[in-house]
Amino acid sequence: MGQVRLTIKELPLSERPYEKCEKFGSEVLTDAELLAVIIRSGSKEERSIDLAHKILNLDSYKKGLLSLNYLSLKELTKIKGIGRVKAIQIKCVAELAKRMAKLQGVERFNINSPSSVANCYMEEMRHLNQEILKIVMLDTKNNVINDKMITKGTVNASLITPREIFIEAIKNEAVHIIILHNHPSGDPTPSREDILITKRIKQSGELIGIDVLDHIIIGDGKYTSFKERDLL
């Protein structure tokens, strides 16, 4: 005899995601149950909780909630029961989580600590499949004014001109800047190109009176600070 598969409505109240959340709070839900709430309804063959488990195990390299940052809409819609709308909802929830993490980091931003700068941008940049270089612009009291992506793609010293960076800094009336970029490999060890870029930007900043406080490379859950390693 085959295994009996209960629908969500047929499950005991204590095992239904909506009822559990309402009674005990969202923090008691498992990752799959949280995702099942977003999915809302399953297919004829599978419940929303089953689809959630499939999604969380779809990526063989990254499993669990982190995989949502890597899965494309096309990959999600390959799962029977996940159509265009549900796939978009899932990607938007993942993006919301990244932005919330960034905002929480900004609230406790201490410019004297490279680790807090890295933590602020970690979730936003650690999952990117391409290198990007951005600058964080600061006022005289080291308050964050703005940040701006300068390049997307391979961060190459021959393709990046300090002019692009300092046009943005001057436009925002910045006094100091921090350079940020990511390594999709997950290893934040500086390359020769990274060192050349930093040297050129810092020298240019000294000429026009805008100080480069740090260059932080974001890896997968780890970072390298040029300031901490005395590379500035």
CA neighbours within 13 Å on the CB side: how many for 222? 7
Q: Where are the alpha helices (DSSP H) in the chain?
A: 17-24, 31-39, 48-56, 73-77, 84-107, 114-125, 162-171, 192-208
- Tell me what pLDDT residue 195 has: 92
pLDDT, averaged per 10 consecutive residues of the chain (232 residues), comes to: 48 64 84 86 77 84 78 89 90 83 56 81 86 91 86 69 90 94 93 91 94 95 94 88
- Domain boundary residue among 70, 100, 130? 100
**Spatial separation of the C-alpha atoms in residues 78 and 83, rounded to whole Å:** 8
Domain identity same for 213 and 115: yes
- Domain boundary residue among 100, 132, 147? 100
- Domain boundary residue among 55, 71, 100? 100
Domain identity same for 120 and 220: yes
- Tell me what pLDDT residue 228 has: 94
Domain identity same for 67 and 164: no
Query: Residue 147 domain-assigned?
Result: yes
Domain identity same for 94 and 126: no
Domain identity same for 154 and 70: no
For residues 232 and 215, the answer to whether their CB atoms sit within 8 Å is yes
| 3-class secondary structure, 135 | strand
Query: Residue 26 domain-assigned?
Result: yes
Domain identity same for 74 and 159: no
Domain identity same for 179 and 115: yes
Q: Between the CA atoms of 160, 221, 63 and 40, what dihedral angle is there, to the nearest 10 degrees?
A: -90
State the pairing for strand pair 176-182/211-218.
parallel
CATH number at 137 reads 3.40.140.10
Domain identity same for 95 and 122: no
Give the domain extent around 96: 13-100
Query: Residue 2 domain-assigned?
Result: no
Radius of gyration of the chain (CA): 22
Query: Residue 81 domain-assigned?
Result: yes
93-99: list long-range contacts, CB under 8 Å, 24+ apart.
93/38, 93/68, 94/68, 94/69, 97/123, 98/69, 98/123, 98/124, 98/127, 99/124
**Spatial separation of the C-alpha atoms in residues 182 and 188, rounded to whole Å:** 7
- Tell me what pLDDT residue 108 has: 46
Query: Residue 1 domain-assigned?
Result: no
Domain identity same for 127 and 85: no
- Tell me what pLDDT residue 1 has: 43
Domain identity same for 32 and 115: no
Query: Residue 90 domain-assigned?
Result: yes
Query: Residue 6 domain-assigned?
Result: no
Query: Residue 49 domain-assigned?
Result: yes
For residues 59 and 71, the answer to whether their CB atoms sit within 8 Å is yes
Domain identity same for 154 and 63: no
Domain identity same for 94 and 157: no
